[in-house]
Chain A
Amino acid sequence: MNLPWITTANTRYLTRLWLLSAASVLSACQPQLPETVRSGLVYCSEGSPESFNPQLVTSGTTIDAISQQLYDRLLDIAPGSGELLPGLALSWQVSDDGLVYQFTLRPDVQFHHTEYFTPSRPLSADDVVFTFNRIMLTEHPFHAQGGANYPFFQSVDWAGLVKSVTAPSRTQVRFTLSRPDSSFLSNLATDFAAILSAEYGQQLQASGNLSRLDSHPIGTGPFRFREYQKDVLIRYYRHRHYWRELAKPEQLVFDIVPNNARRMAKLFTHECDVVAFPRVAELSLISQRPDVDVQESTSMNVGFWAFNTAKAPFNNVKVRQALALAINREAILQAVYFGHATAANSVLPPTSWAYNPNLSAQQFDPIRARQLLTEAGYADGFSMDIWAMPVQRLYNPNALKMAELMQADLAQIGVRASIVSYEWNSFRRKLGANEHDSVLIGWSADNADPDNFFRPLLSCSAAQTGTNRANWCDENFDRFIAQALLTADQKQRRSYYMAAQQYLSEQMPLLPIAHSQRFQAINSTIKGIQINPYGGIALANATKDIK
């Protein structure tokens, strides 16, 4: 049946109309770079932050997003040498007995002006006292906010170490310690020791909104907080009265994209300027593109396999040694890290000054492993669980795959391993309760001090707070690391740490697997981003080189 009065001419006209309208929409799609895009920076991160206060968290995702952008610390760490530099503190003196640290604060450091807070005064000693008292004084109005949980400070036994924090004058802060601790300054330079505003705290107390201190942050850092939409984005603007050189980007947005493939796609379409944690397997593909650069740096981290030493048979040192001997780490380095990591002999990376170069490299020797098992009374092997963390971390990009490789290795010596994994939050909770047999996990350093690898990971106090994944409490080991803290002499400290490492490799509460490199994929027009080996990324100096 024909509709004769719609002529072909008409049809042609209509078709042309559609083509025209389609073309006009597409013409808007030509790449052009408006002002907003040129002056802003988009960092695509792998997850939402848990809080906006670094005191309350340890997760790398959160620290990357908040620490270096919103806050300053009393001291900073030089990324290259690991040396301590003045931050908010201009200078500091240590008493001869190593118990009193006095800091002189930098004058005229301004806090952020935002819609929810206008500071009336610059940084003073009160702010520093307010910040650290929150962690240690139970009567502090904000102490119980967020469950009174300060994981980093608890792991270094802050409350036991620091007797008091006082302000002798507006520009002076005095920390009095109960015992000398040579890692104290390094701990003050970590991303967790951010300085908050006491004045903002008072304002919140007056209005009864205590929880806003951790959700609507006020700091002195290069950017100020603007908005946060959970699982969508975080928006910061430049802090106009920053005491250092002003941040280069006018606006900084953390676009939250948990999916790896999607994050890469956004890099390729230039929706992201910087992409966190590109998959190691895709690095060669990424580096082929002319518009994308891959940055690499050795990072202070270690991936390890920790045994729950409080459980049988892992309480037997021979069993732990046998399991360590059974693992073919060379294969793991190739298959899991794609060669972008070095085999670990100690928990401490070789770049640390306290690294023990005399440790013998961990062998792969299934025959010797079998012998050890027989000696330990497990000639027929046993069954165990390997917990593999469900998320990708720098120190372990693919724990499940690693667990599968290890499963095959262990079968050689008659150990039947099953792989267990949970959603990340439940996983960590169950680990904290020590429900595991063994776990594949790791650690990234927060500062350059070697203590950061020992105390939060393997000390008795860490076993109590649930961050000691080996659930290992050994008096000898604790004595080594405690003695190392009592002296400020680096040579002497080093000898204690060497001994501690030697002791660890004999006791084998955990098998260090690899120190991996940190990667970052960035749009090649972006300059000025340095990967910090000791924690969060700093984005204040990033510039876009676009005409």
Chain B
Amino acid sequence: MILYLLRRLVLLAFVFIALSILAFSLGYLFPGEPWQNFSGLRSASSEQLAQLTTLYRLDQGYIAQYLAYLTRIFSGDWGLSFASQQPLLQEMLTLLPATLELAAYALFISFFIGIPIGIIAAVKPDGVLSKLISAIAVTGYSIPVFWWALLLIMLFSLGLGWLPTAGRIGVLYEVNHVTGFMLLDILLSDSHHQQEALINALRHLLLPTLVLATFPTTVMIRFTRDSMLDVWEQSYIKTARAKGLNRGQVLYRHGLRNALLPVIRQIGLQFSTLITLAMITEVIFSWPGIGRWLIDSIYQRNYPAIQAGLLVISTLVISVNMLTEILHTLFNPLARKR
């Protein structure tokens, strides 16, 4: 098992190196001078320029420059954003929790709604309920997320006036940034409007989460259903029943555990799709997360931000992928042997 973990970590390191090389080379591939793209300064005095040249080792070869770049990345000096002239790392650290919060709730929903519904759909695969669930799942799977989001806004915000259209919380609520996770921050704040703020934040959360959860939930439903049906054909289920275990025991010990194994793996694979969808959701709901920030940066030709955002998001996706892979292996002795 340790060997397996080591192998994974080495792989992760290589992937990160490849990513950082890509991000580094973007500094050259983007328009403008490399020192601009690395530092985020638009203009510099001759002294500043000399300083930057030494710092970035621009007078040396590409490998030395790349190593200097890596050192800066690890020491937290990511340069400034063209748009705001604020340190990029700090800016991203304040934005990332908003995206993670949204993605986490969406994943949570997809888990706790998708899996039970998937199981229900597997109960009578030819029944009306199962057909209905499959139909809804296919619709949810194929509906474009931006259109779905606009439909929900039209209905719940503009039509019924129940839910707000944008943001994480009503602008009149001032919540101090502690962890960056809105609900947690509200609970940590000592304002006497805490409960109001919490309700307000939940109302803001509802539509984006619903929109973002749609795709992974339908994937979960389909996957759980198929996997459940698949496991049910296995001979060990019949053996378990023949041994005299009752229905619940077989379902829990033999059925679910085996059926859900591939589902865990699915989370990792869905995560990159989830982040992509989160970007679109963030743009539509003006959610101040890293996805919207990255898209804005692309519009504004904010090269240092694009570079840094790319590195952070891809590292995140790959780490989550790796983590679920490891979890999958942990639960599945068969995979470890391979």
B172 and A40 form a contact (CB under 8 A)? yes
Known: A25-B202, A266-B165. A6 touches B123 (CB 8 A): yes
> Which of chain B's residues have a CB closer than 8 A to the CB of A244?
none
Does residue A14 face the partner (Cβ distance < 8 Å to B)? yes
Residue of B nearest to A2 (CB): B124
CB nearest to A18 among chain B residues: B113
Q: Are A230 and B124 in contact (CB under 8 A)?
A: no
- The CA of A138 and the CA of B288, in the complex, are separated in Å by 41
Is B84 close to A, CB under 8 A?
yes
A37 touches B165 (CB 8 A): no
Please indicate the chain A residues that have their CB under 8 angstroms from the CB of B125 in the complex: 1-2
Within 8 A of A (CB), among B189-247: 193, 196-197, 199-200, 202-203, 206, 228-229, 232-233, 247
> Quick one: given A2-B124, A29-B162, are A253 and B171 in contact (CB under 8 Å)?
yes
> How long is the Cα–Cα vector from A255 to B84 in the complex, in angstroms?
18
With both chains docked as a complex, state the minimum distance between the C-beta of A250 and any C-beta of chain B, in angstroms: 9
CB distance from B237 to the nearest CB of A (A): 10
Is there contact, CB below 8 Å, between A35 and B193?
A: yes
Give the distance in Å from the alpha carbon of A235 to the alpha carbon of B84 in the complex.
18
> Is A3 an interface residue when CB atoms closer than 8 A count as contact?
yes
Closest to A28 in B: B199
For the complex, what is the distance from the CA of A2 to the CA of B229, rounded to whole Å? 9
CA distance A233 to B172 in the complex (A): 10
A265-B124 CB under 8 A given contacts A5-B248, A271-B166: no
Interface: A36 (CB within 8 A): yes
Residue of B nearest to A34 (CB): B196
The answer, yes or no, to whether A251 is at the interface (CB within 8 Å) is: yes
Chain A proximity mask over B157-168: 1 for CB below 8 Å, otherwise 0: 110011111110
Closest-CB distance, A103 to chain B (whole angstroms):
38
B91 shortest CB reach to chain A, Å? 10
Q: If the complex has contacts A3-B228, A5-B251, A36-B193, are A235 and B164 also in contact, measured as CB distance less than 8 A?
A: no
> B119 near A: Cβ within 8 Å?
yes
CB distance from A272 to the nearest CB of B (A): 9
Q: Establish whether residues B123 and A25, one from each chain, have CB atoms under 8 Å apart when the complex forms.
A: no
What residues of chain B lie closer than 8 Å to A208, measured between beta carbons?
A: none
Tell me how far the C-beta of A44 lies from the nearest C-beta in chain B, rounded to whole angstroms: 9
Q: Please name all residues of chain B whose beta carbon is closer than 8 Å to the beta carbon of A230 when the two chains form the complex.
A: 83-84
Report B-chain residues with C-beta under 8 Å of the C-beta of A257: 166, 286
Whether the pair B120, A14 counts as a contact (CB closer than 8 A) is: yes
| A251 x B232 contact (CB < 8 A) | no
How many Å lie between the Cα of A233 and that of B170 in the bound state? 11
Q: Mark B109-138, 1 if CB is under 8 A from A, else 0.
A: 000010010011011110001000000000
User: Roughly how many angstroms separate A34 CA and B296 CA in the complex, as a whole number?
Assistant: 33
Which among A28, A31, A227, A235 has the greatest number of chain B C-beta atoms within 10 A?
A28
CB <8 Å contact, A37 and B170: yes
Q: Which residues of A contact B196 (CB under 8 A)?
A: 34-36
Instruction: Write out the residue numbers on chain A whose beta carbons fall within 8 Å of the beta carbon of B232.
Output: 1, 3
CB distance from B97 to the nearest CB of A (A): 15
Indicate if B153 sits at the interface (CB-CB under 8 A): yes
Judged by a CB distance under 8 angstroms, whether A4 is at the interface is yes
The B-contacting residues of A in range 1-38, CB under 8 angstroms, are 1-6, 11, 14, 18, 25-26, 28-31, 34-37
Chain B residues in 8 Å Cβ range of A28: 199, 202-203
Q: Does B174 contact A (CB under 8 A)?
A: yes
Contacting pair B172 A251 (CB below 8 A): yes
- Tell me if B66 counts as interface (CB < 8 A to partner A): no
Choose one: B161, B202, B248; the contact of A269 (CB below 8 Å). Answer: B161
Provide the bound-state CA to CA distance between A29 and B207, in Å.
11
Kindly supply a per-residue 1/0 record for chain A positions 267-308, scoring 1 wherever the CB is within 8 Å of any chain B CB and 0 otherwise: 011110000000000000000000000000000000000000
Identify B247's interface contact among A4, A42, A231, A270, CB under 8 A: A4
Whether, in the assembled complex, B173 has its beta carbon less than 8 Å from a beta carbon of chain A, the answer is yes
The chain A residues found within 8 Å of chain B, CB to CB, are 1-6, 11, 14, 18, 25-26, 28-31, 34-37, 40, 42, 226-227, 230-233, 235, 251, 253, 255, 257, 262, 265-266, 268-271
The 3 closest A-B pairs by CB, nearest first: A5-B247, A40-B172, A34-B196
- Given A265-B153, A271-B170; 14 other pairs, CB 8 A cutoff: A1-B233, A3-B122, A3-B124, A3-B251, A6-B120, A14-B116, A18-B113, A29-B162, A35-B196, A251-B174, A257-B286, A262-B165, A269-B157, A269-B158
